[in-house]
Chains A and B, each alone.
Chain A
């Protein structure tokens, strides 16, 4: 019945951890539980990937594997429909790695923190495994609420303000989303029995054109707000700056990918005609957000703000690539999601550790940390180079695929925008090196920085897991890009050329 499908465990494991956490008392127990949960999720993800690949190798051609759907709410015909294709497998792997690293990055946190943390992860995992529109939206909300509490309670700086702002803006986004989903639901099938299931809606493809023109912007903006599209990105710098380490890791790493994944899975997959029509508006917006994020990162002084703006720029690139509507660019987008997720998580983990030691995030006050904390310094340089797009690390692979894919459009409008996006690699180089130069190299500015201790074993573990992931994608990209490309071609041939 429900328990034979592997996907459901992605939600059950965090639920179980919530239960055990509620009972646990000492921090030792808490750590034990959270670590086992993290490792369990990692094992689940790898087992899912292996199983998925075997099924694909064995010639399973239908789009979604491990499908199963249980009726939930009769009148609206809402099912808990689960299913996973290449892209969601990749996303699940990403989120499980980040949750695992997140657990280690928040070692000294109290019990309640982990309660909300795992609730957040339930939302995230649920979102990726569900194919039913309504369940997707529900998990999306489940992922939003803990954000407020985690930032509000354990954050730093103007935490209440940014927690409030973050949640309100994302709620605003999800309001658009709700409109979009309802619109889609009511047009989901011509013959009357309306369905929430993504795959069926795509197959019927019965949403009339004029409705598509209305619903597409709604859903795209709804998810775009989370994916930090240009005008709606202001929550990201504040939200990340005042969130605790692991939360901003999970948020920047995975939740922003929820936006991108949603855009592409719901907005484009279900309303392809409108996608081709309206792509140019959003292309301009995302084009701006790529360059805009990079430029504003050049002048920030707070470490987390720099990283937040760089996530705005990279996620803008993701949305930019999705709107190119061809297989290469979209595969590139998913790769970029994967690589950016890992990179930002690594960045935030390191920034958290540095902040834990120097208690300041202002790069003007810090300097010459390379000699004092060599391990963290080296990891920071690797993370910087990865987000810079150094070949051999994941950033390069994703960006190149995106640029090659988006070059496929030969009209000058696309060409100009692509070149604009390409310039972002230079600006990224500028602000990454500025930070690395100020933070790690140069003379030590603050005397009492001298006796800082280097990374502890759990901090090393979380950093190393992420670095290994980034390097593995960088060295063997074909493995990932094949998985994504297969399931992407199914979606792309829905789009009228």
Chain B
């Protein structure tokens, strides 16, 4: 089946965006909602068709001598900057982009379905669906990009649509500042990304992925060993590109925007902050992986950042009170897992198991994290508050959400039958291969993940009963629970997909075999975490509060996200605004304006002085005249001799 159909995947959401955006206001909520969902359904079907024909279809040289080919479905030159650097818009199909197609479209479709129920009765309902389709379009565009510039274009579009979605409830100032913060932080990271692209384009003289990743060694040589402040220029370019990815995937220094992005409606968090946008950074590194392999120093950097972020996020998640914040931090730590997996992946160990593991984890994580978020959305929808203090003992009232939530928690903490175990185990295998330290660190963090997930689970569904007053929390309506059930089912099944056959770094098939020693330790640690959580939080007991008081300082710091936000706020507001912008504005207003006004003033003063001379007194004139005459005489006399 030829792939010309694939461009449709991009066009339909875009058309939906225009339709809903311009005409949306006229439509009723119902019509707009279902229209959006149906369109997304069609896109999902097409995407599935493409992915399956790509993976399973024969013919058209899909699998030439074991290497799965990269097919460029269509290419339309968008802007020819110079004869070599041409920006094209097109669709590139290869294992990771096909896999991402499936992930994005499924999650987006389910979120569309879910938000019909969740957003029921919200003002600006159609606008929400317009932004959702814009987001899906840009995410799909990003994934299927043929050249790095097209990826940058859709990268920015993703940033803007996340800004619009986070700031959906624009009447509340918190949402406005959160969306502004999200956009500016990602924009700052995009600056790094842009500079990385520019350096790359200057040295490699091309944007196209095929050329870049085709023969990476020649690209590195083309840099001619130019160095810049120590590291080779290419290393700098790749590090900067990773910085762009880190910003989008909320890695350590640039993660502050993700927890605040929870201001947006929960379906948005489910779609953007669980499954798709945050994963863009991982996808970028995966896409440029052959180049990264040339610069191992950058990979080390990536691993370190990954581990630091994972540990940081896990520790903070353990003390958060808002359930969505907990899930946000758990997303950050899971993404950090994937980044570390990519960081540690080396072709010589086990044919790059890290690369395959991170992609697999990406796939499974998208599923169960979306399920968790949607579950949390259902709970908030029922209880109308984000804080777990207002919840407790919900398992009686919301049985379906309870089960799906439990399944996803088990998956995320890496318990065998569920998909989380397989993907996380692969990551641990890759980490151990690279160096024991990374392995141990990751398993400890995995344990912490298990602990805080189950802490969350027990606090919501077990714990003592809150008096819910007259209106009892009821089970979410059907349209919200169906996606939950689907996602839970997928998390259970996904573990058994032979992922290795499809997605590997050099696109050769390779079968996974569980390395039981590593798997054993990880399961053990996870179980310890779960047991600890059950002991502390199953029954309402004073133990956790007493523990918190014991290390009051640490607990407060963790709760306050180690004061990162305050640091950023300090930097931006105090330093940039107060010390740079205001003085510049003052400088401009007074010094430069001052000089211009000074010219005017000087001329005015001089003219008033001259005016004084015409005093009207005849005698003044005579004296001046006379003295002038004498001076003239003297001068002529001087000249004469």
The distance from the CB of B193 to the nearest CB of chain A, in whole angstroms, is 11
Interface of A is mostly: helix
Closest to A436 in B: B180
Check: A433 CB closer than 8 A to any chain B CB.
yes
Instruction: Flag if A407 contacts B202 (CB, 8 Å).
Output: yes
Check: A154 CB closer than 8 A to any chain B CB.
no
Which of B53-61, B465-473, B551-559, B574-582 forms contacts with chain A?
A: B574-582
Count of B residues near A, CB < 8 Å?
50
Check: A133 CB closer than 8 A to any chain B CB.
no
Closest to A424 in B: B191
Select A441's contact among B77, B157, B176, B194, beta carbons within 8 Å.
B176
Check: B35 CB closer than 8 A to any chain A CB.
no
Select A400's contact among B149, B175, B177, B191, beta carbons within 8 Å.
B149
Check: B78 CB closer than 8 A to any chain A CB.
yes
Which residues of chain A are within 8 angstroms of B195 by Cβ–Cβ distance? 419, 422
Instruction: Flag if B596 contacts A437 (CB, 8 Å).
Output: no
Check: A385 CB closer than 8 A to any chain B CB.
yes
Check: B183 CB closer than 8 A to any chain A CB.
yes
Select A169's contact among B199, B577, B581, B596, beta carbons within 8 Å.
B596
Check: A208 CB closer than 8 A to any chain B CB.
no
Instruction: Flag if B596 contacts A391 (CB, 8 Å).
Output: no
- A423/B596 contact (C-beta < 8 A), A300-B585, A328-B81, A440-B170 known: no
Which residues of chain A are within 8 angstroms of B584 by Cβ–Cβ distance? 292, 295-296
Instruction: Flag if B82 contacts A425 (CB, 8 Å).
Output: no
Check: A408 CB closer than 8 A to any chain B CB.
yes
The distance from the CB of B10 to the nearest CB of chain A, in whole angstroms, is 12
- A368/B171 contact (C-beta < 8 A), A169-B596, A392-B157 known: yes
Q: Give Cα A238 to B576, complex, Å.
A: 24
Q: Give Cα A370 to B173, complex, Å.
A: 13
Check: B464 CB closer than 8 A to any chain A CB.
no
Q: Give Cα A235 to B595, complex, Å.
A: 12
Count of A residues near B, CB < 8 Å?
55
Which residues of chain B are within 8 angstroms of A423 by Cβ–Cβ distance? 191
Check: A434 CB closer than 8 A to any chain B CB.
yes
Select A385's contact among B80, B160, B177, B576, beta carbons within 8 Å.
B160
The distance from the CB of B126 to the nearest CB of chain A, in whole angstroms, is 12
Check: A430 CB closer than 8 A to any chain B CB.
yes
Q: Give Cα A295 to B171, complex, Å.
A: 27
Which residues of chain A are within 8 angstroms of B571 by Cβ–Cβ distance? none
A residues 285-311 near B (Cβ < 8 Å) are 292, 295-296, 298-300
The distance from the CB of B155 to the nearest CB of chain A, in whole angstroms, is 9
Check: B85 CB closer than 8 A to any chain A CB.
yes
Instruction: Flag if B184 contacts A426 (CB, 8 Å).
Output: yes
Instruction: Flag if A327 contacts B82 (CB, 8 Å).
Output: yes
Instruction: Flag if A426 contacts B593 (CB, 8 Å).
Output: no
Instruction: Flag if B596 contacts A298 (CB, 8 Å).
Output: no
B residues 501-540 near A (Cβ < 8 Å) are none
Which residues of chain B are within 8 angstroms of A401 by Cβ–Cβ distance? 79, 81
Q: Give Cα A440 to B173, complex, Å.
A: 11
Which residues of chain B are within 8 angstroms of A389 by Cβ–Cβ distance? 156
Check: A231 CB closer than 8 A to any chain B CB.
yes
Check: B474 CB closer than 8 A to any chain A CB.
no
Instruction: Flag if B180 contacts A433 (CB, 8 Å).
Output: yes
Check: A36 CB closer than 8 A to any chain B CB.
no
The distance from the CB of A177 to the nearest CB of chain B, in whole angstroms, is 18
Q: Give Cα A9 to B78, complex, Å.
A: 34
The distance from the CB of B253 to the nearest CB of chain A, in whole angstroms, is 15
- A408/B167 contact (C-beta < 8 A), A295-B584, A328-B82, A478-B78 known: no
Instruction: Flag if B201 contacts A370 (CB, 8 Å).
Output: no
Q: Contact flags (1/0) for B580-600 with A, using CB distance below 8 Å?
A: 111011001000110010001
- A441/B170 contact (C-beta < 8 A), A328-B81, A405-B81 known: yes
Q: Give Cα A300 to B154, complex, Å.
A: 31
Q: Contact flags (1/0) for B81-100 with A, using CB distance below 8 Å?
A: 11001010000000000000
Check: A130 CB closer than 8 A to any chain B CB.
no
B residues 151-204 near A (Cβ < 8 Å) are 152-154, 156-157, 160, 163, 167, 170-171, 173, 175-177, 180, 183-184, 187-188, 190-191, 194-195, 198-199, 201-202
Q: Which of A165, A437, A481 has the most CB of B within 10 A?
A: A437
Which residues of chain B are within 8 angstroms of A299 by Cβ–Cβ distance? 577, 581-582, 585
B residues 567-623 near A (Cβ < 8 Å) are 576-577, 580-582, 584-585, 588, 592-593, 596, 600
Which residues of chain A are within 8 angstroms of B78 by Cβ–Cβ distance? 477-478
Check: A49 CB closer than 8 A to any chain B CB.
no
Closest to A405 in B: B81
Closest to B233 in A: A410
Which residues of chain A are within 8 angstroms of B87 by Cβ–Cβ distance? 400
Q: Give Cα A433 to B166, complex, Å.
A: 14
Closest to A370 in B: B170
Select A403's contact among B163, B177, B198, beta carbons within 8 Å.
B198
Instruction: Flag if A408 contacts B202 (CB, 8 Å).
Output: yes
Q: Give Cα A235 to B588, complex, Å.
A: 11
Select B154's contact among A233, A391, A397, A426, beta carbons within 8 Å.
A391
Select A298's contact among B170, B190, B577, B592, beta carbons within 8 Å.
B577
Check: A443 CB closer than 8 A to any chain B CB.
yes
Q: Contact flags (1/0) for A389-427 with B, using CB distance below 8 Å?
A: 111100011001101110110100000001100110110
Q: Give Cα A410 to B177, complex, Å.
A: 39
Check: A234 CB closer than 8 A to any chain B CB.
yes
The distance from the CB of A57 to the nearest CB of chain B, in whole angstroms, is 17
Check: A112 CB closer than 8 A to any chain B CB.
no
Closest to A335 in B: B79
Which residues of chain B are within 8 angstroms of A374 by Cβ–Cβ distance? 25
Which residues of chain B are within 8 angstroms of A168 by Cβ–Cβ distance? 600
Instruction: Flag if B585 contacts A478 (CB, 8 Å).
Output: no
Instruction: Flag if B596 contacts A433 (CB, 8 Å).
Output: no
Which residues of chain B are within 8 angstroms of A404 by Cβ–Cβ distance? 81-82, 85, 198, 201
Q: Contact flags (1/0) for A112-124 with B, using CB distance below 8 Å?
A: 0000000000000
Which residues of chain A are within 8 angstroms of B582 by Cβ–Cβ distance? 299
Which residues of chain B are within 8 angstroms of A405 by Cβ–Cβ distance? 81
Instruction: Flag if A437 contacts B177 (CB, 8 Å).
Output: yes
Q: Give Cα A295 to B578, complex, Å.
A: 11
Check: A110 CB closer than 8 A to any chain B CB.
no
Closest to B202 in A: A407
Closest to B153 in A: A391
Instruction: Flag if A443 contacts B77 (CB, 8 Å).
Output: no
Which residues of chain B are within 8 angstroms of A419 by Cβ–Cβ distance? 195
- A429/B184 contact (C-beta < 8 A), A292-B584, A296-B584, A441-B170 known: yes
The distance from the CB of A126 to the nearest CB of chain B, in whole angstroms, is 28
Instruction: Flag if B194 contacts A478 (CB, 8 Å).
Output: no
Check: A51 CB closer than 8 A to any chain B CB.
no
Closest to B156 in A: A391
Check: A442 CB closer than 8 A to any chain B CB.
yes
- A234/B593 contact (C-beta < 8 A), A404-B85, A419-B195, A426-B191 known: yes
The distance from the CB of B606 to the nearest CB of chain A, in whole angstroms, is 16
Closest to B21 in A: A378
26 A–B pairs (Cβ distance < 8 Å), ordered by A: A168-B600, A169-B596, A233-B592, A295-B580, A296-B585, A298-B581, A299-B577, A328-B82, A389-B156, A390-B160, A391-B152, A391-B154, A391-B157, A392-B153, A400-B79, A400-B81, A403-B194, A404-B198, A407-B199, A408-B202, A418-B198, A422-B195, A433-B183, A433-B184, A478-B78, A478-B79
Other than A422-B194, A425-B190, A478-B79, give 20 A-B pairs with Cβ distance below 8 A. Answer: A169-B596, A231-B592, A292-B584, A295-B581, A295-B585, A296-B585, A299-B585, A328-B82, A392-B157, A400-B79, A401-B79, A407-B198, A425-B194, A426-B187, A433-B183, A441-B167, A441-B176, A442-B176, A443-B171, A478-B80
Instruction: For the complex of A and B, list the 6 residue pairs with the smallest distance between their C-beta atoms, beginning with the closest.
Output: A391-B153, A441-B170, A298-B581, A441-B176, A299-B581, A296-B585
The chain A residues found within 8 Å of chain B, CB to CB, are: 165, 168-169, 231, 233-235, 237-238, 292, 295-296, 298-300, 327-328, 368, 370-371, 374, 385, 389-392, 396-397, 400-401, 403-405, 407-408, 410, 418-419, 422-423, 425-426, 429-430, 433-434, 437, 440-443, 477-478, 481-482
